[in-house]
């Protein structure tokens, strides 16, 4: 008998967070409020682009989007709550436009709010700004990252879950060195989170390395899914050649799930959908948002020692993707409490859409 509900709701949430930033910001908002050490705005998503120019990454563009509406009026309302003088905002604007060739008014609002929080929330150990990072080649390929201002050490920190701070074989650890100057006027470099706390490579890189070792068993599981998928009557799965399978041998765990999501309801292939989520749970490294929420929460509770313990557990696991998603579930349990039961119930309905989930998370 076909299952009509999701047996793996947390894996489904981790998957949904790969493509719907509003859900991400709502969960970030909840985690940050529960952390006790972070201060942050939770009004909008901030998009930051960098670009490789002549072998070196440079800042490229900056914009933001209000998570409740795209209206410029809404952004104007937020602007009135920025605790900076007109002169302070103008100074930050002049610095920012010299660093980012393309910066929108909404991007300036994001910077003003970040600077305002640094100014008014010095009693918090850290002020954070989650961002969606694009590397300049493909607008659809983005990565979760976070700017953190350390109020104790008076320094800017940049976090991303790979922990390598390179893309396409090029180190980009210097690309945000002007962020501290833009926001505070102090001309000091930006520290890379994993290097600052001596963590080694990050969780996402640990997962990719182990998953690549599991390629043969992944291929067997994928072949079984493809066989059933082809029998549904849908167009046969043929992954685009641009997928970088040399770097991530199990990348099809998310790509085929993208397709399964589309055909499952049309062809009634709910069992296939379950298999797709199980494959994603076990082998996908494309969970940068879930990893970021998990790691920041661990850091807020147990510091860098807690992260080293988490990384050690991932490194010794045969299926670190599964362990990471399960840990994400534990973080959600900590921050949502009994409300997580309803969230999981919503996620268990295979017809749930992003907007319905976001509506509930807004009030959770």
At 35-50, the pLDDT tens digits run 889 988 767 789 999 9
Domain boundary, last residue among 241, 262, 283: 283
Domain boundary, last residue among 262, 283, 304: 283
Q: Is the distance from CB of 62 to CB of 49 less than 8 angstroms?
A: yes
User: 84 with 175, same domain?
Assistant: yes
**How many domains are there within the chain?**
2
User: 349 with 235, same domain?
Assistant: no
Domain span at residue 233? 215-249+251-283
In a domain, 1, yes or no: no
At 298, list the tokens. Answer: 């661990």
- How does 314-331 read in b/e, with b if 16+ C-beta sit within 10 Å? beeeebbbbbbbebbbeb
User: 168 with 315, same domain?
Assistant: yes
Rounded average pLDDT over 299-307: 97
Q: If residue 217 lies in a helix (H) or strand (E), which one and from where to where?
A: helix 215-230
Q: Is the distance from CB of 328 to CB of 293 less than 8 angstroms?
A: yes
In a domain, 4, yes or no: no
User: 260 with 296, same domain?
Assistant: no
Of 63-72, 135-144, 291-300, the one with minimum mean pLDDT is 63-72
User: 265 with 292, same domain?
Assistant: no
User: 85 with 169, same domain?
Assistant: yes
User: 18 with 112, same domain?
Assistant: yes
Q: What percent of the chain has pLDDT over 90?
A: 64
DSSP for 42-59, written as a single string: -SEEEEEEEEEETTEEEE
In a domain, 2, yes or no: no
User: 258 with 146, same domain?
Assistant: no
In a domain, 137, yes or no: yes
User: 123 with 40, same domain?
Assistant: yes
The DSSP bridge pattern shows strands 191-192 and 142-150 to be: unpaired
Residue 203 vs residue 246, higher pLDDT: 203
Residue range 21-38, pLDDT digits in tens: 889 989 998 999 888 899
Tell me if residue 38 falls in helix, strand or coil: strand
Q: If residue 65 lies in a helix (H) or strand (E), which one and from where to where?
A: strand 56-66
In a domain, 351, yes or no: yes
Is residue 1 over pLDDT 50? Answer: no
Residue range 54-105, pLDDT digits in tens: 999 999 999 998 876 656 666 676 777 789 999 999 999 999 999 999 999 9
> Which pTM does this prediction carry?
0.92
CA distances from 190 to 34, 70, 156, 214, 300 (A): 26, 31, 5, 36, 20
In a domain, 355, yes or no: yes
User: 79 with 174, same domain?
Assistant: yes
Q: How much is the pLDDT for 2?
A: 43
Q: How much is the pLDDT for 137?
A: 80
User: 115 with 152, same domain?
Assistant: yes
Q: How much is the pLDDT for 308?
A: 98
User: 243 with 355, same domain?
Assistant: no
Please report how many Cα atoms fall inside a 13 Å half-sphere around the Cα of residue 204, on the Cβ side: 25
Distance CA 263, CA 311 (A): 36
Distance CA 22, CA 20 (A): 6
At 191, list the tokens. Answer: 């520290």
């Amino acid at each position: 008998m076909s299952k009509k509900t999701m047996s793996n709701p947390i894996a489904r949430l981790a998957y949904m967070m790969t493509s719907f930033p509003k859900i991400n910001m709502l969960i970030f908002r909840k985690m940050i409020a529960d952390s006790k050490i972070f201060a942050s705005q939770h009004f909008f998503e901030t998009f930051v682009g960098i670009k490789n120019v002549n072998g070196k990454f440079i800042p490229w563009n900056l914009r933001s989007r209000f998570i409740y509406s795209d209206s410029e009026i809404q952004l104007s309302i937020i602007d009135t709550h920025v605790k900076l003088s007109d002169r302070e905002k103008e100074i930050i604007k002049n610095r920012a436009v010299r660093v980012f060739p393309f910066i929108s008014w909404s991007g300036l609002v994001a910077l003003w709010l970040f600077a305002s929080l640094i100014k008014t929330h010095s009693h918090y150990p850290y002020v954070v700004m989650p961002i969606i990072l694009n590397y300049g080649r493909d607008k659809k390929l983005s990565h979760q990252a976070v700017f953190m201002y350390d109020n104790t050490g008076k320094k800017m920190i940049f976090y991303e879950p790979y922990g390598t701070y390179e893309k396409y074989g090029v180190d980009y650890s210097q690309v945000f060195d002007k962020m501290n100057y833009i926001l505070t006027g102090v001309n000091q470099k930006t520290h890379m989170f994993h290097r600052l706390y001596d963590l080694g490579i990050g969780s996402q890189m640990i997962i990719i390395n182990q998953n690549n070792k599991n390629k043969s068993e992944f291929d067997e599981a994928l072949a079984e899914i493809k066989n059933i998928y082809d029998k549904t009557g849908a167009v046969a799965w043929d992954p685009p050649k641009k997928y970088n399978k040399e770097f991530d041998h199990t990348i099809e765990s998310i790509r085929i799930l993208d397709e399964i999501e589309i055909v499952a309801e049309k062809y009634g292939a709910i069992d296939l959908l379950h298999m797709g989520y199980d494959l994603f749970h076990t082998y996908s490294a494309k969970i940068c948002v879930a990893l970021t929420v998990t790691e920041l929460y661990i850091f807020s509770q147990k510091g860098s020692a807690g992260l080293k313990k988490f990384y050690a557990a991932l490194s010794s696991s045969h299926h670190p993707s599964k362990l990471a998603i399960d840990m994400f579930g534990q973080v959600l349990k900590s921050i949502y409490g009994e409300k997580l039961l309803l969230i999981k119930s919503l996620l268990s309905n295979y017809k749930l859409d992003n907007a319905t989930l976001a509506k509930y998370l807004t009030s959770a």
